[in-house]
Amino acid sequence: MGGKKKPTLSQLEKRTKKREGRGEREERKGKYEMRLTSEGTLSELSVEQVVNGIKKMPYVTPHVLY
């Protein structure tokens, strides 16, 4: 009955700081520029970026790659 309690101001500040930091990391993380060759395939540089990004992941599953 009473519902969930409201967070204190310090808890609210911590939560917003954590969300702001997470957003910045996500923006930097996904900055791959995919380039297609005239044949319609990915360029060698694009493939290397993808491979290096996968190597940095702690684990790889089909869901993560999708």
Per the CB < 8 A criterion, the answer to whether 15 and 7 are in contact is: yes
More confident residue, 64 or 51: 51
More confident residue, 37 or 29: 37
Domain boundaries, the chain: 34-66
Residue-wise pLDDT for 37-52, tens only, equals 777 777 777 778 888 8
HSE value, Cβ hemisphere, 13 Å, CA-based, for 36: 4
